[in-house]
Amino acid sequence: MHSENYIKLEFLSKSSNEAFARSAAAAFAAQLDPTLEELGDIKTAVSEAVTNCIVHAYPEELGRIAMRLRILEGGILEISVRDWGRGIENVEQAMKPLFTTGGEERSGMGFTIMGSFMDKLRVRSTPGKGTTVLMQRGLRQRRRL
């Protein structure tokens, strides 16, 4: 699908960068004139994806996280969050609600939350090589006066 606009960002897997990623995604999505609710959904999904990288991909070290956002034809926002960390052994199992490898303090709802706020969610992972989360959300075009 043809991209009308895009950005690429790369940052360290520091928890302080999660807020940066949320803000960057919201600022980029703003050109589609989303509602406040839509912006909140986008920020939450990005937050979950980036937090998964921080907690699961690089649990004992800092690593790279790359985020790419694209605006596709028809007002579709596509968000890709990638890491080069531990990877996921069983993606299907990891996407089940309440499954976590992050210990008691983790809810295991990250992928479920991402999927509930996005129209499409796809996860690709290779153990020892990293994970890519691809999300899409159509933003309805509002009439301008």
Q: Which of 4, 64, 68, 106 is catalytic?
A: 106
Token duo for residue 65? 């996280």
52 in catalytic set: yes
CA separation for the pair 142, 14 (Å, rounded): 36
CA separation for the pair 63, 132 (Å, rounded): 14
Q: Which of 52, 70, 82, 137 is catalytic?
A: 52
73 in catalytic set: no
CA separation for the pair 59, 55 (Å, rounded): 5
Q: Indicate the DSSP class of residue 73.
A: T
104 in catalytic set: no
Q: Which of 17, 48, 70, 137 is catalytic?
A: 48
φ, ψ at 57 (rounded to 5°): -75, -35
Q: Which residues are catalytic?
A: 48, 52, 106
